[in-house]
Amino acid sequence: MQVNSSTSSILSQVQERQESLMEKLASGKKVNNALDDASAQQIIDRLTSEVEGSRQAINNVYDGISLAQVAEGGLGSINDDVNRIRELTLQSGSGVLSSGDRRAIQSEITQLQENISQTIEQTNFAGKPLLSENGTLDFQSGASAGQSISVNTRDISSELSDVLAIDVTAGTSIEDALDATDAAIETLGSARGDLGATQNRFESAARSLTQSNINTAEARSRIQDLDFAQAASERASNDVLGQAALTVQAQANQQEGQVLSLLS
């Protein structure tokens, strides 16, 4: 009876071990829950939180890059229009032009001014105006609190009000018009420079986050992921042990039957 009880205990242990190995082989993980390794599971949970947090932060950073690119594209288009207005202003300064010629020049200037206003109005990202109001848009750029990058938005319309008011047929002097366009070009250049610097910060953060995320995921993998060769070897060894235990139990049952037969 002691042999039979001992064999049953071994078989129970073998079965539990087999179920554990099958779960690990099916999931590809050597730690599936706290029962497998409580301390390791705590570390895995913490690393998983860092990986997921960094992954979302990377998405935020790329949103920031896209937003800055949209804003910079709008400023670039406005800059082209302002340069053309400056060129037309210079053209209007020729003494040989008739009043009709100046009206034709002003017609194109007006169209360019309307283009500038339309670009300012339509330069948005996810519903956020980028060139029509002063403000700050913050992007969480790390997995921890206090890690963020800000994009400053500007009310470009108010800063270009002198350019938008140029009218070479209604008393705007060539000197005033040129001063307005030169100031506008300087303003636009400064805004584009700020956005370029912000994009560089975002890109640097993206590179750092990506590398950090890779390193963290690798650290988690070393703790969590299963060595398939080792697990397969353990399963084979466990199968042999199970077969041996079954053989011993069969022999014990046969001997017990023989004893009972003799006693009867």
Instruction: Report pLDDT for 228.
Output: 45
Instruction: Report pLDDT for 88.
Output: 96
Residues (pLDDT < 70) of the chain are 1-37, 224-264
- CATH class of segment(s) 46-222: mainly alpha
Average pLDDT taken over every residue of the chain: 81
What is the token pair recorded at 223?
Answer: 């703790």
What would you measure as the largest C-alpha separation in the chain, in angstroms? 138
For residue 54, how many other CB atoms are within 10 A of its CB?
Answer: 23
Domain ranges in the chain are 2-28+226-263, 46-222
Q: How far, rounded to the nearest angstrom, does the alpha carbon of residue 221 sit from its chain's CA centroid?
A: 21
